[in-house]
Amino acid sequence: MKEQKVYEPVIGLEVHVQLNTNSKMFCNCAIAPFDSSPNTYVCNICMGYPGTLPLINNKAIEMVAKSGLALNGNINQKTRFDRKNYHYPDLMKGYQISQFKYPIVVGGEVEINTNNKKKHIKLNRIHLEEDTAKLTHANSKSFIDINRSGTPLMEVVSEPEIGNADEARKYLQELHSIFTEIGVTKGNLEQGHFRCDANISLKPIGSKTLGEKVEIKNMNSFRSVYRAINYEIERQTNELNSNKVIVQETRGWNESKGITISQRSKESAHDYRYFPDPDLPNIYIDEELLSDLKKSIPELKKDRVEYLLSNYELNEQVIQILSSDINLYDYFKNIELPKPRNSNITDQDLANWITEEIIKILDSNKINTDKISSIFKPNYLIELIELTNSKKINRNGSRNVLSSMVESRKSPKDLIDELGLTKIADSGQLNELCIQAVNNNPDAVSDFNSGKETAVKFLIGQVMKLSKGKADPKDAELNILKILNNEK
């Protein structure tokens, strides 16, 4: 049997990001809503009529520069637009206005975590271009919708430094997080705001010579990219081990079948006959604008994760939740725990209350997290946690207090009195309730004696009903077990 060779994938990604501008790249047309009627957001310029002249959307240029700064790229302070020439039905002018020789951003990097190690994936460039129209093929006919034509697109081109599908997915998720955080895109994957082309080649392990590159076009979900890359690696490996030649081509991803399909031979840069667009002037980005853009970049999720890791003792799940929402993060970070720490509240304890209890209440009431500080005053939350930890109120009662804060904004102590939630502290009173629950439910007692330990949970529930939620479930369980086991 012939020995199967092992190959190493080399992957580069090209990500197309629809910018969050009000108007198109080279005309005054508004950006078409996703569900708009075909061909209703168009004008002579974006339809490519002869004799029309483009106008530059300055906001789009600022957004690309801002993105480059967020990714530690170098900004070309002199840049320009070029014509990329190819003939396809979705390209209204017969050429696309893009950038070739002088992109707005050169270099940069994206940091990901892989195998518990940090990896920095370098960027080649970030440039700006206009989107094409949209073609729909059905029943042997093709329909064109020009609404999308001219929409500002930012293209982020990585170096071929991605080693597998998992790294590709993490890279895309990090890019998406950064771009949505700095506000340059809405980032809606289903609506095509964030699309990806993957360039994949294989080389023998240890070889410095890259194999022939295959491009997979227009995937708009992290899952699709992950599946398509894995499929293509397997396909190319099988081809090479069968002594077949990998040809440079463009392939499409069929989501339902889970396969890539050959579409056309892949063009090279010289095929597009790039040349400077004669209708558009050079663009100059001054230091003052760059300084303003730097100041407008918020603290990013990766920075928030690093801050939480460095300053608090929290588990990974809580760190991810807090760092993913700037409002939750600021709320947690700005709460000062009582000092000296005689209140027995830990960092993890506080974080759990925010990420478990408070989030549920906000979600159930459809309240945005930016209202968290006004509804749950930090000193009130600390007070409630202390009361719970000191067993003056049980956890269920605490949840009722939190829910009541949404409307009342009263202190925990006032709400506990008002709602009658003070925990039963008298052991004799609790014992009487436990005896009553046992005597009222002989079937549950019989189940327990038969070895069904779940019967205890039922009896605890009965105690909670009898106490109107004032009993501590743990104390009730201890009492019930003593009664059932005839212990004194």
Write down the pLDDT at residue 362: 95
C-beta separation of 422 from 403 below 8 A: no
Domain limits for position 445: 427-484
pLDDT at 437: 87
Q: How many domains does the chain have?
A: 3
Are the C-beta atoms of residues 125 and 67 closer than 8 Å to each other?
no
Q: Is the dihedral of CA 279, 79, 191, 200 positive or negative?
A: positive
- pLDDT higher at 478 or 273: 273
Question: Considering the chain, what is the average pLDDT of its residues?
Answer: 90
For the record, the structure tokens of 112 come out as: 């990901």
Mean pLDDT computed over 456-465: 86
Do both 48 and 127 map to the same domain? yes
Give the model confidence (pLDDT) of 440-450 as tens digits: 998 888 888 88
DSSP state for residue 353 in the 8-state scheme: I
- Confidence category of residue 475, pLDDT binned at 50, 70, 90: confident
CA gyration radius, the chain: 31
61 torsion bin: left (phi>0), alpha (psi -120 to 50), beta (else): alpha
Residues 334 and 480 in one domain: no
Provide the whole-model pTM: 0.79
Q: Are residues 148 and 58 in the same domain?
A: yes
What is the CATH number for 431?
Answer: 1.10.10.410
Other beta carbons within 10 angstroms of residue 38's beta carbon come to 16
Query: What kind and span of H or E run contains 440?
Result: helix 427-440
Q: Same domain, yes or no, for 125 and 45?
A: yes
Do 188 and 332 fall within a single domain?
A: no
> Does one domain contain both 283 and 338?
no
Question: Is residue 1 scored above 60 in pLDDT?
Answer: no
pLDDT (0 to 100) of residue 219? 92
Averaged pLDDT for residues 4-33: 95
- What does the pLDDT look like over 276-287, one tens digit per residue? 999 999 999 999
Confidence of residue 333 (pLDDT cuts 50, 70, 90): very high
Last residue of a domain, one of 277, 296, 315: 296
Rounded to whole angstroms, how far apart are CA atoms 222 and 102? 30
d(CA 12, CA 123): 9
CB 337 within 8 A of CB 343: yes
- Contact residues for 205 (Cβ-Cβ < 8 A; gap 6+): 6, 7, 8
Question: 40-49, 76-85, 269-278, 465-474 — which is least confidently predicted?
Answer: 465-474
Query: What are all long-range contacts of 270-275, with beta carbons under 8 Å and residues at least 24 apart?
Result: 271/86, 272/84, 272/85, 272/86, 273/83, 273/85, 274/82, 274/83, 274/84, 274/85, 274/98, 274/100, 274/101, 275/82, 275/83
Give the C-alpha distances (Å, rounded to integers) separating 241 from 98, 397, 438, 443: 39, 66, 72, 68
| Gap between the terminal Cα atoms of the chain | 76
2 domain-assigned: no
